[in-house]
Amino acid sequence: MIAGDVTGLRGVDLGVRDVAAQVRFYTDVWRLAVVAERNGSVYLRGSGGYCHILALHPRSEPALLCVNLAAADRNAVDRLHARVTAAGAPQVGPTAPIDGPGGGYGFVFMDPEGRSVRVITEDARHADARPLPDRPERITHLVFNTPRQEDAAAFWVRALGFHVSDRSLLTFIRCNDDHHCIAFHPGGSSTLHHIAFEMDGIDSVMRGAGRMRDAGRPIEWGPGRHGPGNNVFAYFIAPDDFVVEYTAEVEKVDRDHRVREPGAWVYPPGHSDLWGATPPPSARMKAAQEKIRFAEGLFHP
Ligand SMILES: [Fe+2]
Query: Does the pLDDT at position 144 exceed 70?
Result: yes
Distance 214 CA to ligand 1 centre (A): 22
Residues lying with their CB under 5 A of ligand 1, a single-atom ion: 196, 245
Distance 228 CA to ligand 1 centre (A): 10
Distance 141 CA to ligand 1 centre (A): 7
The pLDDT-based confidence of 2 (bands split at 50, 70, 90) is low
- Pairing status of strand 171-174 against strand 138-146: unpaired
Asked if 71 and 80 count as a contact pair (C-beta separation under 8 A), the reply is yes
Distance 245 CA to ligand 1 centre (A): 6
Distance 7 CA to ligand 1 centre (A): 19
* C-alpha–C-alpha distance, residues 22 and 6, integer Å: 29
* C-alpha–C-alpha distance, residues 200 and 198, integer Å: 7
Distance 143 CA to ligand 1 centre (A): 7
Distance 220 CA to ligand 1 centre (A): 13
The pLDDT of residue 129: 98
The pLDDT-based confidence of 282 (bands split at 50, 70, 90) is very high
The pLDDT of residue 3: 75
Tens-place pLDDT, residues 161-181: 999 999 999 999 999 999 999
The pLDDT of residue 1: 53
* Rounded mean pLDDT, 132-139: 98
Distance 107 CA to ligand 1 centre (A): 27
The pLDDT of residue 159: 98
The pLDDT of residue 75: 97
The pLDDT of residue 301: 76
The pLDDT of residue 300: 87
Query: Does the pLDDT at position 131 exceed 70?
Result: yes
Q: Give the 3-state secondary structure of residue 75.
A: helix
Distance 198 CA to ligand 1 centre (A): 10
Share of the chain above pLDDT 70, in %: 99
* Rounded mean pLDDT, 237-266: 96
End-to-end CA, the chain: 31
Distance 192 CA to ligand 1 centre (A): 12
Distance 142 CA to ligand 1 centre (A): 7
Distance 287 CA to ligand 1 centre (A): 16
Distance 246 CA to ligand 1 centre (A): 8
* Rounded mean pLDDT, 90-112: 97
Distance 195 CA to ligand 1 centre (A): 7
Average pLDDT over all residues of the chain: 97
The pLDDT of residue 87: 97
Distance 140 CA to ligand 1 centre (A): 9
Distance 174 CA to ligand 1 centre (A): 13
Beta strands in the chain (DSSP E): 6-16, 33-38, 41-45, 54-58, 63-71, 91-92, 96-97, 105-110, 116-121, 138-146, 163-167, 171-174, 182-186, 191-198, 221-225, 232-237, 243-248, 292-294
* C-alpha–C-alpha distance, residues 298 and 66, integer Å: 9
Distance 50 CA to ligand 1 centre (A): 20
- Read off φ and ψ for residue 292, nearest 5 degrees: -85, 120
Distance 18 CA to ligand 1 centre (A): 25
